[in-house]
Every structure is written in C-alpha cells, then in structure tokens.
Amino acid sequence: MNDALPPLLALLLVLSLPATALVAADYQGETDAEYRATPHDGTLGQVSPVTVEETTNRLPLSAPVENRYADRGPDLGASISGTDHALRIDHSQYALVDREFDDASDEERAELLEDAHGALQDHVSELDDREREAVREHESGERSDGELVETLLGNYFEATELLEVLDRLDDRADSVPGYSLSSSEVREDRRAIEAHRTPVKSDIAAIAEEFDTTDRFEFLIQTSQDGYRLSTIEGQTYAIETTRFDNYDPDAPDQFTDQNRTGFDHAQELYPWAAAQGSPDYTQAGTIHDVRFTDDEFDVRVFIDGGTGEVHREYQQLSIDSLPIMETWSTEDDALDLSVNATPADGPVEVTVTDATTGEPEQATISVDDHELGETDQDGTRWLVPPMGEYELTAETETGSVSTTVDLGG
C-alpha cells in the first residue's frame, strides 16, 4: 500500500475509467445542449401529464412510440459488472484515505476534493447523455431491446458506485477546515445519481444477480425520440416510470424563483387527484423539485424541472384494485369467451377467459401481438401491461383460441 497513487488521483482515474462491457466505453452521443439544439423527427415539445378520472394523472410519451416486451433472469454478466463496480468503490475509498492525502495541507486537500467532485459531476452527466442516446437509438431501431437494457443496467451499477463516492467525498470534505460540500450540492448530486437507480431498474438489477431462482422479471419498454417508459405488474401493483428528455433544461433559470408559488404548488395543479388523496413530501435539489404523494393505494413521485416548469421524471406505483375501469368488452368463438377490462391512460388491462357454454374459468395462455405473456390464474384472469395503440390480444387453451383487436386510440 506504500505505492499508493497521489492523493485523490486514484479517485479521478476511477471516475474516468471506461465503462464495463455493459455500456459503450467511448460515449459519443449528444450532450443536453446539443440535443435541444438539434432538430429531431417526430412531434416533440414539452408536455404535461394527461388528465385521468378517478386516479392519478400520468406523464405521456409522444408518438411514434416503440413498444417492446422484455424479461430478465439471472445474468452472470450483470453480476460480474456489479462486482467490478464494487471493487472500484473500494479503490476510490482507499484513495481518499491514503497516507499522502492525510499528509497534505488543508489547501491541497480542498483542491483535490474539488477536482474529484467535478469529475464525479462530469460522470453523472455522461450517464444522462448515455441514457438518452440509448433510448433514441432503440426507438429508431439502431439498438436492440437487450442492448438498451444493458445500457440502463450499466448506468444503474455506475450510479450505485457514484453514490458511494459522493458519500466518501462528503465525509472527507467535513474533515478539511474551511472547506465543505454544501448540503444543496450534495442533495442535487444525489438526486441526479439516483435517477438511474429507480424502483423498476432496481428490480431488473436484483433479478439479474439472483442465481438461486428460475423466475423471470417481465416488463414493457416504450421508447420515443423524447423519452421512455418502463412498466410492469408485480402481484397487485402496477409500477410505471416515465422520463421526458424534452421537459428538462438544466441551463434555464428556475421559473419558480420569481413566482409566488413553489414546485410543490405546481405539482398539486398537475396531479390534483393524487394531491387530494395522498400525504405530500417535497424537497428541492438545484432546479429539480422532488414531489411525492403517497397513500395505501398509490405512491406517486415526480421530478419537476424548474427550467421548463414541466415533469422531467415520474414514478408511480398503483394498486391494480384501485384503478377505475374505463372500457369493457368481450368476444367469443364456439368454445371460448374473452372479456377485457381496460383502465385509463394505457394502464393495465384485465383479461378473463371462460368457457363459452358453461361460463367456467379457463386456463389460457395470453399473448399480445404473438408475444406470450403467461397464463391466466384459477379464476381465468390475468392482468397485463398493454402497448400503446392497436394490438392483437389472443387467449389460447388446449382446445382452441380466441382473439380480439384492441385499439383504445393510444
């Protein structure tokens, strides 16, 4: 250990290391400013959540949208990547407590910490740029489902590492007289990093590293040129995460600074049902206003960008039993009856398959556009996350099948 790198130089090297095989090592995508300055195909423009009756409003995606079902199981590559990032965390922590740092003057320590902090922030910006580029390439067909998921997972593991580094930087900064990382800076950095460690992404990462199970984690990926969505059903909970890149402008001043209201006030206007029903929580990190409404039946968290005044990221977890039914219809052939209950805003759909003669529930395999989603339960029902727009819904049993075309105008 006596050959340790100069103080914090090792950390700077860690932060500048190329990503593992999960993500492109040499990122060449657009920066935030370049994205906003470049014309893009499709209908782009800042948007607000769509209004939904009897449940929470939701942030939409702009057409065209690429809809793809995906699943994830144990993945040795992801596990190796997670271990690699953990080792890099240990390395960075060692660099921060090495003998040379302890022997440096207070002024030298402050300068080294400042450089390390700047390197960390640059790395976080790279995660954002990489995320957006991967999503846009997926929507245009230049990147496969697996490649997109690998990029999001790579960002997840890097973000996990960066949180450790940030905590270490904050701790070391407190030991230097006359120098500290402001609480607002740390809060803003943490918020930016945690954007890549969302609940659904955490579930994907967890199953990838779970080798004592054969379970698969199923989810829907929806991408457009201006954002993306991950959604899934776990038990009786519908989880949905939506990001709008065009609703984020970090270079613009916070619109709420000179107004007689806050980001929380704006969130109440955008999500009136959730605000009226749930318990609120509000914090601000830089120009990002983090607002959360929670209740027994839902958890809605939104990140409003003060620069645009719009929702940049939205996470929702909703009890399926609490969702209103927007439309109901059925179709049948000689043997089977297929009933569909649809919830608002491209939300979950309940499918029920019964014997056309007796009305008894049937165990059937449910597919959307030839993608098999699984079987109905003992009651003949299954909930699924539907794609936007028109799709073919099919129920197949040992004795026959029945299909219907679903088009809710999404």
Per residue in 235-263, pLDDT (tens digit) is 999 999 999 999 999 999 999 988 888 99
* pLDDT greater than 50 at residue 222: yes
Give the pairing of strands 217-224 and 288-295.
unpaired
Kindly list the domain boundaries of the chain, sorted by start residue.
9-47+75-208, 227-322, 327-406
- Whole-number Å distance between alpha carbons of 308 and 330: 43
pLDDT value of position 210: 66
The string of DSSP codes covering 258-327 is TSSS-HHHHHHHHSHHHHHHSEEEEEEETTEEEEEEEETTEEEEEEEETTTTEEEEEEEEEEGGGSPP-E
Could you tell me the pLDDT band of residue 100, with boundaries at 50, 70 and 90?
Answer: low
At 343, phi and psi to the nearest 5?
A: -100, 165
Q: Which of 18-32, 88-102, 235-249 has the lowest mean pLDDT?
A: 18-32
Going by C-alpha positions, the residue among 388, 71, 35, 348 that lies closest to residue 228 is 388
Q: Fill in the amino acid letter for 289.
A: H
Fold: same for 227-322 and 327-406: no
Give the residue-averaged pLDDT of 271-276: 98
Was domain 327-406 assigned CATH 2.60.40?
yes
pLDDT digits (tens, 9 = 90+) for 363-401: 999 999 989 999 999 999 999 999 998 999 999 998 889
pLDDT value of position 116: 86
- Whole-number Å distance between alpha carbons of 61 and 39: 18
Q: Give the tokens for residue 111.
A: 């300068």
* pLDDT greater than 50 at residue 117: yes
pLDDT value of position 68: 95
Do 379 and 337 touch, CB atoms closer than 8 A?
Answer: no
Do 106 and 177 touch, CB atoms closer than 8 A?
Answer: yes
Going by C-alpha positions, the residue among 18, 313, 20, 30 that lies closest to residue 151 is 20
- Whole-number Å distance between alpha carbons of 305 and 288: 5
Reported residue count of the chain is 410
pLDDT value of position 96: 52
The chain-wide mean pLDDT, for the chain, equals: 84
Topology of domain 227-322, CATH = TATA-Binding Protein (3.30.310)
The string of DSSP codes covering 363-382 is --EEEETTEEEEE--TTSEE
- Whole-number Å distance between alpha carbons of 151 and 128: 11
pLDDT value of position 207: 81
pLDDT value of position 42: 36
pLDDT digits (tens, 9 = 90+) for 301-359: 999 999 999 999 999 999 999 999 999 988 988 799 999 999 999 999 999 999 999 99
pLDDT value of position 6: 46
Using only C-alpha atoms, the chain has a radius of gyration, in whole angstroms, of: 24
Distances (CA, A) of 153 to 74, 141, 148, 270: 13, 19, 9, 31
Going by C-alpha positions, the residue among 243, 75, 241 that lies closest to residue 153 is 75
Percent of residues, the chain, with pLDDT higher than 70: 80
- Between 275 and 78, the more confident residue is 275
pLDDT digits (tens, 9 = 90+) for 134-183: 999 999 999 999 999 999 998 998 899 899 889 988 988 998 998 989 89
pLDDT value of position 407: 84
Could you tell me the pLDDT band of residue 211, with boundaries at 50, 70 and 90?
Answer: low
What lies within 8 Å, CB to CB, of 308 at 6+ separation is 46, 247, 248, 249, 252, 255
pLDDT value of position 10: 52
